[in-house]
Amino acid sequence: MTSLRKSRTHQSGQRLADSGRRGVSKQEPGGGDCSSRAKTCPALLLRLRLGTALTSCCEVAAMRNPFLHAVVAVCPPNQGIGKEGSLPWPLLRNEFKHFQRLTMTPTVEDKKNVVIMGRKTWFSIPEKNRPLKERINIVLSKELKEPPTGAHYLSKSLAEAIDLLEDPELKDKVDLVWVIGGSSLYQELMEKPVNQRWFVTRILQEFECDTYLPEIDLNSFRLLPEYPGISPELQEENGVQYKFEVYEKIV
């Protein structure tokens, strides 16, 4: 897997150099401007907007779901998500099961979902639980040279991670792509002009935090009135009330 990561970094850089990423349209091997076809190829549009390398529409067609997904829990008043590398609130077992169900359950048989996370998020997971089982774990870091022990892949950026998923070793295995933190990665995704769905657990009680999620811009996102499999009912565990919300951004 390490050799694959190094190979992909080289190939991605070579393709970007060959295509003249700025100011030159991206051409398919058989001719035709991929940019002009993006409107009818959502997966291609996703990669164009993330700034990943391209080879052909056929290559990106394997990316069946043109959405990126994020899952996060936040508490008031400032959308706190963490405290000293841990969750600020007591263990909420059913909420954790909700996270597991979302990120572990593919929509296509014999495929796996991907979880993408920053280095700090990876090391905040108890060692015995790393990697997150039944999911392909990708860690993002500009400092690390090799995947941390237990991680399946290492990428320098979100765009590079998405590009990695088109490698022949992975593209037939991958279904949904989930971003699971931390704060800077959430913010990066939020600002990307790509289709995305955010599955938010809104904790209805204040807890002391030192890490925060930016406010979801309702000019870009819309709160869905309902979503299959997501309970609209108020939840409560350990004296903590919370509710599930789903936001969607279509570009």
Closest residue by Cα to residue 169 from 209, 220, 112: 112
Token pair for residue 113?
A: 């979902």
At 49 the pLDDT is 54
Q: Where are the chain's structural domains?
A: 63-249
At 37 the pLDDT is 46
**Cβ distance 139 to 147 under 8 Å?**
yes
Closest residue by Cα to residue 179 from 207, 158, 165, 163: 158
At 216 the pLDDT is 95
CA–CA separation, 170 and 29 (whole Å): 22
| b/e 104-134 (16+ beta carbons within 10 angstroms → b) | bebeeeeebbbbbbbbbbbebeeeeebbbee
Closest residue by Cα to residue 166 from 41, 27, 54: 54
CA–CA separation, 50 and 232 (whole Å): 32
Cβ-based burial of 137 (10 A; exposed 0-12, middle 13-18, buried ≥19): buried
Neighbours of 200 (CB within 10 A): 20
3.40.50.1000, 2.40.50.100, 3.20.20.210, 3.40.430.10: CATH of 63-249: 3.40.430.10
The residues pairing with 240 across neighbouring beta strands, listed in sequence order, are 237
Can you give the pTM of this predicted structure? 0.77
The residues pairing with 251 across neighbouring beta strands, listed in sequence order, are none
Which active-site residues does the annotation give? 87, 95
Neighbours of 215 (CB within 10 A): 10
Closest residue by Cα to residue 207 from 241, 244, 231, 234: 241
CA–CA separation, 176 and 221 (whole Å): 20
CA–CA separation, 7 and 24 (whole Å): 25
Token pair for residue 188?
A: 């990066």
Q: In tens digits, what is the pLDDT along the chain, a chain of 251 residues?
A: 544 544 444 444 433 333 333 233 333 333 444 444 444 444 455 555 565 444 333 333 334 457 999 999 999 999 999 999 999 999 999 999 999 999 999 999 999 999 999 999 999 999 999 999 999 999 999 999 999 999 999 999 999 999 999 999 999 999 999 999 999 999 999 999 999 999 999 999 999 999 999 999 999 999 999 999 999 999 999 999 999 999 999 99
